[in-house]
Structures are given as structure tokens and as C-alpha cells.
Amino acid sequence: MTSLVPEPLTEDLFDAAWASIEDSFGAAPHPADRAVERDTVVPERFLVVRDGGEVVATSGAFPLRMTVPGGAAAPVAGVTWVGVRSTHRRRGLLTTMMAALLREAHERGEAFAALWASEAAIYQRFGYGPASWALQVTVPRGAGVNRQVPAGGLRRVAPDAAVLAPVHDAVAAVTPGMPARDDAWWRARLHDAEHSRSGASPLQCLVTDDGTGYALYATAMSWSEGRPDGEVRVRELLAATPDAHARLWRHLLDLDLTARTTARVAADDRLLQLLAEPRGAVARVVDGLWVRPVDVGAVLGARAYAAEVDVVLEVDDAACPWNAGRWRLSGGPAGAVCARTTDAADLAVGAADLGAALLGGTPLRTRAVDERRPGALAAASTALGAVGAGPYCPMVF
């Protein structure tokens, strides 16, 4: 184990910390990205570890508000900037930083922590479970759209947060796992530095005439053996109505001189239902948000449930010992209460199992849960399932 200790990120250490996190990912800071990076970072929620003056490790938590099943918004620690330079790995620095971030999140009253994992194996030991799933789709142009999909009703505009925010907020309000977006996050989402385009066009924006949907995308045009082989790369497509969703997809899937469209969509997105020939599409299931409870009572009490539930959970949580012990969860579609109890447990669950099921995207029954009362797991799993839309987080943080 290491004797190095994390310290809070201060303004004068920002550039050194940024260089460290970029280096941990095998990259280097690009001046074009600095303003966006600096604007989203909240220094008092970030940690650095220094060795002889050099920053060798970083981590942090964005203070987010995220929708939970039923439509309430909960305070969330959006864990990020996790990186340890190659010279300092496997000495426990990540473990030390994770403990500090979770303590801080608990002191600040955050209900759960969420993150995007560079590698799925890293965070399970810290009590995170895969809570949202997405489809990484590639749709060949020939897949076509079915006859129900309307044409037209679209405009190309400059990407502008003021125009897009109402759609985003309407979708976020009913989509668990979607964080609220303030100005700094909108700047990050619309940031379009040339060095990150990977040969594609500048960011394009398509909106529906009625203001209920938008698509942010780029095109990467190329030719192969004399035939057009362009690619439409969808960064974000959000629609508050099925009609807007269909119009936007119809347009993007049929752009002249392109051969395919790629996107990461929600696991329950309607896209595949729009295709005339869905077999042509390739959809890879990918993990999205990894979630763990920071305050079991607060997070289970914040969400609504797909069915009535009354269950005593025995929670095992080594990384957040304040969560350990028995909790009675009673509630249903209208809301719930989750409080400490001395009653016998119906289910014994680990933090990662609970985290995986928190947003309604991973059935609790698919996790290794110890059922102490017959029938309790099936009932709890159904109740913890999706209430309306399944979870989806359109932006990697």
C-alpha cells in the first residue's frame, strides 16, 4: 500500500491534474479543450495525489442531479477523472481515493454515486453495479424505414443550447440516469474541437419544426471503389415524442452519399422498430452507468416502484459501512419509504447488486442475491424494474 495521500484540487494545480488524467489515459491535454474541462470541474470535489511535487493520480465527483424511476431528481456524485499514472499503479491509490470520494459524497447528502467505467472490472470491488445498458448500433443505409415513419418537418440549425435545452429537459424528466445539464455541461456537450473529430465534419444539428426533438451528429465522408461510403455519427438524438424520434431517424438513416449510421441509443430505444429491415442493423449491448448507493435509505426512498413492495434487505457494504445492516423498503408506484429495521431479512444484497438495480435497468433477480424468504426476490425484482422509460445517460462524464 502507498503512503501517498490525496489532497483537494486547488486552482493552481488544475493544469498539472489535467495533464495527469490525460496521461493516465495515454493522451495529452489539448489547449482547445481547456475551457470546457475547467468549467465542468468543481475543485473542492476533486482530489490529486502528488509525489515529489508531480501530480500522479486524480479523481473527482461532479455534483449532479439525476432522474430516478418515477421522475424525482436525486443528488448524485458523478465520479470522474479517475486516473493513476503508470509509474504509481497497483499501490492502492485508486482504493484510497474511492474511499475519500464516497465519504465526501455521504457527508454532502448525495443519494448515490454513478460513473462511466473505462474497464468493467475496475469498480465492482467498490460496490458499483451496471445500472444502465445501451445499444451501440450500426444501421446500413439499405435497412430503410418502415411505412409508418413520416418525412419532413425538420430544419438544420447551428447547435445552440437555448434551442435544445427544452427537449433535453423534457426527456431527462422521464428518463432515469439522465443528469440535469447546466450551461457548463451544455458547452461540454456541444464542444467540437477539430482535433477530436476523427476526420468527420463539424458538429451538425437537426431540429424538428415543432421543437420536440433534435439530433447532434457529424458526417465522415469517404469513397470505396468508386462508391460512396460515408458514415453518419450520431452524438445525441433526443425526442420528446415518437413522431419527432421517427422524423429525425428517417432523415439521418437516408443521407445521400452515406453508407451507414452509428449511434449509442438506450436499450429500450424505438430505433430498431422503425427499420424496414432490422436484420441489417448491428446492435452491440454495452454497459452504461455504473451505480452504487451512497445512502440506501435516501435512494430507495427517492424512487417509485413498478409494483407494490414490502421487503427487508440486509445490505452488505464494506466500502460504505453506514449503509450496512437491515432496511425495510415499503412502497409502490406512488413512492416509497426505506428505513432501518430490526426485522428479519428477506434478501441479503451487496451494494453492487443494489446499485445495478437502482435505476430499473438491471433485474435484481439476475444478480447473486441471497433469498431468505421464498418469493421475496421475484417480488423485489419486479418492483425495482423500470417505471416507464428504462435508464439512459446520453453523455459520458
CA distance 35 to 41: 10
- Nearest approach in angstroms of CB 18 to ligand COA is 14
DSSP state of 393: -
- Nearest approach in angstroms of CB 1 to ligand COA is 8
- Nearest approach in angstroms of CB 3 to ligand COA is 13
Cβ closer to ligand COA: 79 or 359?
A: 79
Q: Which residues of 282-299 are buried (b: 16+ CB within 10 A; e: fewer)?
A: ebeeebbbbbbbbbbbbb
Cβ closer to ligand COA: 122 or 165?
A: 122
Please, is 374 exposed, middle or buried when counting C-beta atoms within 10 Å of its C-beta (0-12, 13-18, 19+)? exposed
- Nearest approach in angstroms of CB 291 to ligand COA is 14
Instruction: Of 268, 277, 202, give the one whose Cα is nearest residue 233.
Output: 202
Residues labelled as active-site residues: 123, 397
The angle formed by the CA atoms of residues 366, 369 and 374, to the nearest 5 degrees, is 100
Cβ closer to ligand COA: 120 or 157?
A: 120
Residues that bind ligand COA (CB under 6 A): 24-25, 82-84, 89-95, 117-119, 121-122, 125
- R_g over Cα of the chain: 22
Instruction: Of 4, 23, 6, give the one whose Cα is nearest residue 98.
Output: 6
- Coil, helix or strand at residue 219: strand
- Nearest approach in angstroms of CB 56 to ligand COA is 9
DSSP state of 179: B
Cβ closer to ligand COA: 28 or 162?
A: 28
User: Which single residue is written with the C-alpha cell 430516478?
Assistant: 68
Cβ closer to ligand COA: 29 or 92?
A: 92
Cα–Cα distance list, 105 to 61, 68, 326, 349 (Å):
8, 18, 21, 21
